[in-house]
Chain A
């Protein structure tokens, strides 16, 4: 190896980047959500377009086509979510009187306006999720290319969303700065805390709202093949613990992904109904839209 491989330029106290400072959970200021809420749950519902002919740069995105072109099988299994599964999820949320945050690819906004209209009509929140699943933000893009993708995404919505989720949750080291430049107020890619965190950029600040990879329906049910019973019971355990931690750490949050082609399947939707019933029964737990959390967070710092 070249000698440079054993040079450690960032080897010093604290983080190895400047977006935020090193701070342990016990030292963070306690936050308090509305109505004495000890734990806020945010449902993040991805509305994604999976192209039949992906570039797969710099990697194959989760849920991408798997068999040779034309992979009608995976294209249509994913599209099921946008046509059928998402409406099942919306009906279930609506019956429980709960609002979610829908992370939308620009391609979906362009192709399926009735879906976006339905999300807005039910007063859910729209979060931008890049151009498509295959439009991954990465270090190999020039700043101009990446900014153009962000701007083009914003332009595909009638009202500019305040929140951003990156396709594959992948960022370049410039993404946060470019998001701030495009007037985004919060981002759902980072999850190093159990409550929101400010990130600094050369342009300005942006909030980072945690989003649980380990409790996502995509991770547990789709990738790892766990049962719906297990998904439900793991979320319940997390809720119990986070409520118990309230006295020590203040109000916390849990970002939970509900993937239309996963939890929106006929054989799985019962688990979401059961989860919403459980949340309703629990003291101190409330479902928040991501924008509402961010506002309350910003008002307290």
Chain B
């Protein structure tokens, strides 16, 4: 087992990883930028190293600085968390070169799944259903229009190197496609250093269903069932739950087996997630694979009792998976809401100082937090300041618990999305599991617009 792990990340996920390390008796090393000197995760670690100024390109995404800190600290492994360097094959390679174990898959698997075009081709070859669209990179706007004509509008214009909802744009018809394709490609080149684009058909009335996987280096692969993450804004998840409110046992088995097959096809190791889009007839299509720990991993932990971070560390240390598929059972229902520092109506970020923070406590309530009272939420990083996770015997009871917990979740000094979360979880369509990826637009935003119209006409 490792003696010391460096966490190449920040915020709530750094704190989360430190917790599992402590449980395993492993020492922890935090790295931080100028903006995170006072951050909670830095205090939680046994040691910490400053790695540069606030912008991520100069600190958390600066491979040289992170590796340098790992060497200075004498760490024997690196956990990349999610985002930042977690899906950069070059970082995993740099770790290997310095004899640091990268807690994640092999660089080749990261690379294969990191290019969305290559991932689609790989999965298609493995017999996994993929979203209809282009199988090769789209050269220019003319080719994009030709493909869209063939598969039918609306289509998504996507960056091969994109992810996390960034680098994708909807085109309803040929006119908007022609307008938006060049800009989206240009933006992708600027943001990801790769302007390669592809086209996918929009699956209408879709749900986002994903399967959590664990794979060791001896060829053992298990799935930890599905999560439903359909409630999204700006193509980013807001509410996630496990299990899905609509997936029945037969479909669950099929989803799990398909995901395991996908992982085997690429010789995957460590924790990973296969994301699917599911249509109204419950046909599902491969969307992408996340070759890392996910933000929403706690809901799976709650229903299976598996500590996913602990498993990641053990797998990376060369242990065999101690979990057998047949021994995994779903126990109750868990829901996670992401707490974002943002305006609940425009979704614009709201940085600032948290003057007061009061959290709900009680049975079935779990917090993952990036902040504490008097913390400064800076404009440099993602707006997520915490996650509220509830678990109960049934979906209905979990929703009830969540409503109460949100009522007692008070953040002062900055704006948060809590008012929106409250509205969503008390909506009858949410209670009925009528959760499509368009939920926020269909019910929440439309409701706000109607309210405004009413006020105007008064």
Physical interaction between A and B = no
